[in-house]
Amino acid sequence: INMISKQPRLDSGIDASASAGSAWFRRGTLDINQAIGETSAVRLNLMGEKTHDAGRDKVKNERYGVAPSAAFGLGTENRLYLNYLHVTQHNTPDGGIPTIGLPGYSAPNAGTSALNHSGKVATSNFYGTDSDYDDSTTDTVTMRFEHDLSDTTTIRNTTRWSRVKQDYLMTAVMGGASNITQPNPNDVGTWTWSRLANTKDTSNKLLTNQTNLTSTFYTGAIGHDVSTGVEFTRETQTNYGVYPLTPPAVNIYHPNSDISIGGLNRSGANANGQTDTFGVYAFDTLQISQDFELNGGIRLDNYQTKYDSASLCGGTGRGAIACPTGVAKNTPITTVDTSTSGNLVNWKAGALYHL
């Protein structure tokens, strides 16, 4: 849903669309705009889409969105816009297929050299499980106020809050000879391949406020198109640790995906980051003549960022954290706690000649 082109306007109408295509593609949209009085309007946009990946078993994508909005003061020097956007996605991810039988394929070692002469796997094969999923949710709230100081100068203040949550479980085969089991060494059709469960559980938030001034004016014969302003942004991210999942091995040529390996369970481990940025900027496009333009600008940013993470103690293997005395195994222990700050300067300059 394009929130730039879907702002309320001073007319009323309904627009709907429906489409269908290959791979069970289906999509529908609904756009309702209603004027209220002479200077206000509301608008509602709905969207739904479902499709399967062509030629791939069980791989599919679903998206649904809703976007209500309202505007006040349309056609006047003071305008207020309120927008909300919600989008949900529920997909089945694709971990791909082995490259056995493709040009250039080479078996992992001599003990598995029979794979060099075996056929390709079916391109429709799905090596995941019924538990595989990729879900994400986006929520965005925006408020924008505009005031015309003159016919050529406008000041805008925009405040936006956004949150994006994503979690997924994707099962895929693991390469390497150590991951291949050979029930019958002489029959590649009986061989199985180990699988790995890739997981992710994150939440990202954004809060920003920007005040922007745009103006068009002349100094002598030179035209100016100026944009200047200030901006504050806070970004936060949390990555949640989850307990590992162990999917069973899968037959190389006849994978069984009709199994469940459970869902994600948070372990208490986590990683958190936060960055605050304050910026000021100014840009100008100079119209030297009808055919020649100069443009330039500068932006100054001050940022402060911090990061911390916690891991479960008492584990084994590389990177394992020992539990302090008296602390139970699998207790989250802070392993990183750091911060930094600095300044950034960005600029640009250019020239444009219209032929």
pLDDT of 123 over the 90 cut = yes
What confidence score (pLDDT) does residue 318 get? 83
Residue-wise pLDDT for 2-16, tens only, equals 666 789 999 999 999
What rounded mean pLDDT belongs to the chain? Answer: 94
Residue 115's SS3 state is helix
Residue-wise pLDDT for 174-191, tens only, equals 878 889 999 998 899 999
Residue-wise pLDDT for 308-342, tens only, equals 999 999 888 888 889 999 999 999 999 999 999 99
- List the domain boundaries for the chain: 142-353
Buried b (16+ CB within 10 A) or exposed e, 50-67: ebbbeebbbbbbebebbb
Whether the Cβ atoms of residue 327 and residue 318 lie closer than 8 Å to each other: no
Whether the Cβ atoms of residue 237 and residue 202 lie closer than 8 Å to each other: yes
Cα–Cα–Cα angle for 321, 237, 271, rounded to 5 degrees: 5
Radius of gyration of the chain (CA): 28
- Where would I find the H helices in 62-217? none
Phi/psi for 36 (5° steps) reads -125, 105
Whether the Cβ atoms of residue 200 and residue 168 lie closer than 8 Å to each other: yes
In the chain, % of residues over pLDDT 90: 84
- Where would I find the H helices in 86-128? none
Cα–Cα–Cα angle for 95, 252, 54, rounded to 5 degrees: 45
Residue 245's SS3 state is coil
What is the Cα–Cα distance from 25 to 125, expressed in whole angstroms?
20
Residue 260's SS3 state is coil
Topology at the third CATH level for domain 142-353: Maltoporin; Chain A (2.40.170)
pTM: 0.87
Average pLDDT (64-89) is 97
pLDDT of 1 over the 60 cut = no
301: tokens are 């940013």
pLDDT of 231 over the 70 cut = yes
pLDDT of 77 over the 60 cut = yes
What is the Cα–Cα distance from 124 to 58, expressed in whole angstroms?
9
Average pLDDT (285-289) is 95
